């Protein structure tokens, strides 16, 4: 039997939900590699497997397949298979996936405003041996 990638359980399986109502969403939307995939699909539109592979770079086909299956199962992307030769498969964002756009924009906005503050905080923390 092949390992069932469709029932793959995200990293947050130990239920931190008890304390945090947004943990489920985080597991769905922000697990590893999902944001680059969604972002690429969003900015470049419908794409084939190899296009995604090339654009995201450093991702291996195995992992890309796993994540695409997961995103498809969660209804965030749509997979269309064309039984041609050579086979052609296209991926695109679903309507549910598109509903994440303002959220991503919000995130990008926060990043633009505050990422350097995080960098500064890290630098301060690392170059201040006295307080610890």
Give the residues lining the site for DNA (CB under 7 A).
2-3, 5, 8-9, 11, 14, 31-33, 48-50, 58-63, 65-66, 68, 79, 85-90
- Which contacts of 65-74 are long-range, i.e. CB under 8 A and separated by 24 or more positions? 65/5, 66/5, 66/8, 67/32, 67/33, 67/34, 67/37, 68/37, 69/5, 69/6, 69/8, 70/5, 70/6, 70/8, 70/31, 70/34, 71/34, 71/37, 71/38, 71/97, 73/6, 74/28
* Rounded-to-integer distance, Cα 68 and Cα 56, Å: 13
96 is an interface residue for its own copies by CB under 8 A: yes
Query: Which string of x and - marks every residue 99-128 that binds its own copies (by CB under 8 A)?
Result: xx-xxx-xxx-xx-xxx-xx-xxx-xxx--
8-27: which residues touch its own copies (CB under 8 A)? 11-12, 14-16, 18-26
Q: Which is nearer to its own copies, 50 or 103 (CB)?
A: 103
Q: Which is nearer to its own copies, 86 or 120 (CB)?
A: 120
Q: Which of 80, 81, 75, 109 is nearest to 94 (CA)?
A: 75
Residues that bind its own copies (CB under 8 A): 6-7, 11-12, 14-16, 18-26, 28, 30, 32-33, 35-36, 39-40, 55-59, 72-76, 96, 99-100, 102-104, 106-108, 110-111, 113-115, 117-118, 120-122, 124-126
């Amino acid at each position: 039997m092949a390992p069932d990638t469709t029932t793959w359980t995200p990293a947050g399986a130990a239920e931190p939900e008890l304390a945090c109502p947004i943990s489920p969403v985080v597991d769905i939307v922000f697990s590893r590699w999902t944001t680059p995939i969604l972002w690429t699909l969003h900015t470049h539109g419908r794409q084939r497997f190899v296009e995604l592979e090339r654009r995201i770079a450093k991702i291996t086909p195995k992992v890309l397949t796993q994540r695409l299956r997961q995103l498809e199962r969660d209804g965030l992307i749509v997979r269309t298979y064309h039984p041609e030769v050579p086979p052609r498969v296209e991926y695109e964002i679903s309507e549910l996936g598109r509903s994440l756009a303002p959220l991503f924009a919000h995130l990008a906005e926060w990043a633009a405003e505050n990422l350097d503050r995080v960098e500064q905080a890290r630098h301060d923390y690392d170059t201040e041996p006295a307080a610890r």
